[in-house]
Amino acid sequence: MTEVPLSDFQSPSPHEIVPMLIGSTVEAIERELVLQTLARCHGNRTHAARLLGLSVRTMRNKIRQYGNDGVDIPAHN
């Protein structure tokens, strides 16, 4: 599977992002960022971890916790 370059991702403007974040916890924002990055990486945990600046171990631990919390995790395609 080929990696998706960062340049292929459309970045919303700060004016679009900030209103979505207000009222959310940092934990909820982090979870959403991890899950959306995983989805854009077609479930490739190594690539998603690299894009987010996380170790693969940290990514694995976050995914395990999200799964234990009942969150659907994007599958590797």
Domain containing residue 29: CATH number: 1.10.10
Q: What is the mean pLDDT of residues 34-43?
A: 94
Q: Residue 38: CB partners within 8 Å, gap ≥ 6?
A: 44, 45, 48, 63, 73, 74
> What's 22's DSSP letter?
T
Number of domains in the chain: 1
Residue 11 placed within a domain: no
The reported pLDDT for the residue numbered 35 is 94
d(Cα 2, Cα 76) in Å, to the nearest integer? 13
d(Cα 39, Cα 73) in Å, to the nearest integer? 8
The count of other CB atoms within 10 Å of the CB of residue 18 is 10
Residue 5 placed within a domain: no
- Summarize pLDDT for 51-76 with one digit per residue, the tens: 999 999 999 999 999 999 999 998 88
